[in-house]
C-alpha cells in the first residue's frame, strides 16, 4: 500500500482536503458571527500561538537551532506593524516623551501591508543577527539569542522617538480580533512551512539537525540552510507579534520578556519537535486550558470549610500537566508525526478489515 500511487485515493484525498478546508472556513464564519468576544479572543490567541509555535518549530524542531530569540522578533514585528497601522492622529496624541520619527509620523498602511512589513523587518533582523550568532551551537546559541531578545527589549525602552519608550503604544487597530485574520495567517504559516520541510530542502534541514558535519560532507551548505530556516521562522514570529499587538491593541517593552519565548517553547516541546500538527493542536489546547483552569483559583466551599482563593494555582496544575506529558510522551504529544489523510484512511481500512475478519 505504502508508496503505491493510487489515483482513486489521490482524488479522495484532494476531496477530503477541500472538504476539511470548507468545514474550517464555515466554522470560522460561524464563530465570528456567534461567539462571545471572550471566546473569540481565546481562539484568536490560540491562532497567534499556533503561528509562533510553528515558526519556532521550524527553527528548533526541524533545524535543531536552539534559539530563544522569539520574543525579540515578535517585538520587532509588533512595533513595526503598530507604527504602520496607527492613524496619524492617534500617533500625535500618544507620543508624549518625544515626537515620532519620520517616516512613521506620516504614513498609515492597510493591515495586510503592515503585517507583511512586520514579518519582513523581523526576518531582516534575523538575517543580520544570524550571521554571527548561527556559528554557535546548542546552549551557546540559546544564550546568544536570548541575549539578543533582551537587547531588543531594552532598546525599545530607550528609543522614545520610535517606540514611545516604556509608555508603549496604545490604540492599535484591532484587525486581528477577527478569526479570518488570525486563522488565515495560521493557514499561510502552516502551508509555507510544511511545503518547505517536505521538500528536498527540508530533508537537508533535518540532516543539519541530526549531524551538521555529516550533512556538510553530503554537500549541504549548512550556513545557508540554517540562515534560511532562521529567517523564515523569524518572519512568522514577526507576523505573530504583529497580530498579537493588534489583538491586545496595546504593546510596551515589558510585553516581550523572555517568558513569552518560554511559553512558545513549552508548546513546541509538548506538541512534539518536528511536528507541525503537534504545534497547532497544542497551541489550541494550551491556550484554552489556561483559561479553562481559571475557576480553580477562585475560593470554594466544602461543607463548612472555605478554601481561600489561590492566585496562580492554575499555573501549578499546568506545570503538573506538562510534567506528565514529558514523563509519558518524551517526544511530545505527536513526536514528530504529522496528520495526513493517508494515515486516517489506512486506519479506517484496518478497522474495516478487522471487523470483517471477526464476522468471518
Partner 1 sequence: MLQLTDVNVHYGGIHAVKGVTMHVSPGSIVTLIGANGAGKSTILRAVSGLVRQCTGSIAFLGRPILGLRPHDIVKRGLTMSPEGRRIFPNLTVKENLALGSYSRTDRAGVADDEERVFRLFPRLKERISQPGGTLSGGEQQMLAVARALMSRPKLLMLDEPSLGLAPVLTQEIFEIITTIRNEGTTILLIEQNAFGALSIADYGYVLENGRIALEGPGKELLGSQAVQGAYLGARVGVV
Q: List contacts with partner 1 (CB under 8 A).
A: 2, 200, 203-204, 206-207, 210-211, 213-222, 336
Residue 242 CA to residue 116 CA, distance in Å, equals 9
**CB distance 270 to 333 below 8 Å:** yes
Please state the closest distance from residue 215 (CB atom) to partner 1, in A.
Answer: 7
H helix runs in 293-359, sequence order? 313-328, 341-359
Residue 316 CA to residue 331 CA, distance in Å, equals 22
Q: Give SS3 for 311.
A: coil
Please state the closest distance from residue 1 (CB atom) to partner 1, in A.
Answer: 13
- Cβ proximity to partner 1, 174 vs 194, nearer residue: 194
- Cβ proximity to partner 1, 221 vs 319, nearer residue: 221
Q: Which residues pair with 305 in a beta bridge?
A: 302
Please state the closest distance from residue 340 (CB atom) to partner 1, in A.
Answer: 15
- Cβ proximity to partner 1, 8 vs 217, nearer residue: 217
- Cβ proximity to partner 1, 218 vs 344, nearer residue: 218
Rg (CA), the chain: 22
Residue 353 CA to residue 118 CA, distance in Å, equals 52
Which backbone phi and psi does 106 adopt, to 5 degrees?
-115, -15
- Cβ proximity to partner 1, 250 vs 340, nearer residue: 340
Task: Tell me the CA end-to-end span of the chain in Å, nearest whole number.
Answer: 23
- Cβ proximity to partner 1, 203 vs 350, nearer residue: 203
CA nearest neighbour of 28 among 185, 137, 204, 199: 185
Please state the closest distance from residue 204 (CB atom) to partner 1, in A.
Answer: 6
**What residues contact 298, with CB distance under 8 A and at least 6 apart?**
309
Please state the closest distance from residue 269 (CB atom) to partner 1, in A.
Answer: 16
Please state the closest distance from residue 303 (CB atom) to partner 1, in A.
Answer: 55
Amino acid at each position: 500500500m505504502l508508496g503505491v500511487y493510487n489515483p482513486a485515493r489521490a482524488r479522495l484525498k484532494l476531496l477530503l482536503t477541500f472538504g476539511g478546508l470548507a468545514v474550517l472556513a464555515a466554522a470560522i464564519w460561524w464563530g465570528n458571527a456567534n461567539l462571545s468576544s471572550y471566546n473569540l479572543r481565546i481562539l484568536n490567541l490560540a491562532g497567534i500561538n499556533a503561528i509562533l509555535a510553528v515558526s519556532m518549530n521550524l527553527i528548533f524542531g526541524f533545524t535543531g537551532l536552539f534559539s530563544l530569540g522569539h520574543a525579540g522578533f515578535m517585538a520587532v514585528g509588533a512595533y513595526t506593524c503598530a507604527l504602520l497601522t496607527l492613524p496619524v492622529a492617534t500617533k500625535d496624541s500618544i507620543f508624549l516623551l518625544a515626537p515620532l520619527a519620520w517616516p512613521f509620523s506620516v504614513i498609515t498602511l492597510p493591515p495586510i501591508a503592515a503585517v507583511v512589513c512586520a514579518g519582513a523587518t523581523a526576518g531582516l533582523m534575523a538575517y543580520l543577527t544570524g550571521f554571527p550568532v548561527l556559528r554557535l551551537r546548542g546552549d551557546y546559541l540559546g544564550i546568544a539569542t536570548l541575549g539578543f531578545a533582551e537587547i531588543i527589549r531594552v532598546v525599545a525602552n530607550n528609543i522614545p522617538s520610535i517606540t514611545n519608550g516604556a509608555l508603549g503604544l496604545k490604540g492599535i487597530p484591532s484587525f486581528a480580533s477577527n478569526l479570518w485574520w488570525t486563522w488565515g495567517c495560521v493557514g499561510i504559516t502552516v502551508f509555507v512551512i510544511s511545503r518547505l520541510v517536505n521538500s528536498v530542502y527540508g530533508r537537508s534541514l533535518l540532516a543539519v539537525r541530526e549531524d551538521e558535519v555529516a550533512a556538510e560532507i553530503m554537500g549541504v551548505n549548512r550556513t545557508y540552510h540554517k540562515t534560511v530556516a532562521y529567517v523564515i521562522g523569524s518572519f512568522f514570529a514577526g507576523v505573530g507579534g504583529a497580530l498579537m499587538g493588534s489583538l491586545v491593541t496595546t504593546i510596551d517593552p515589558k510585553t516581550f520578556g523572555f517568558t513569552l519565548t518560554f511559553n512558545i517553547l513549552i508548546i513546541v516541546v509538548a506538541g512534539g519537535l518536528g511536528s507541525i500538527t503537534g504545534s497547532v493542536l497544542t497551541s489550541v489546547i494550551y491556550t484554552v486550558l489556561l483559561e479553562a483552569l481559571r475557576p480553580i483559583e477562585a475560593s470554594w466551599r466544602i461543607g463548612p470549610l472555605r478554601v481561600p482563593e489561590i492566585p496562580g494555582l492554575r499555573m501549578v496544575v499546568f506545570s503538573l500537566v506538562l510534567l506528565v506529558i514529558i514523563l509519558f510522551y518524551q517526544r511530545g504529544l505527536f513526536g514528530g508525526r504529522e496528520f495526513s489523510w493517508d494515515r486516517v484512511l489506512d486506519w479506517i481500512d484496518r478497522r474495516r478489515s478487522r471487523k470483517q475478519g471477526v464476522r468471518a
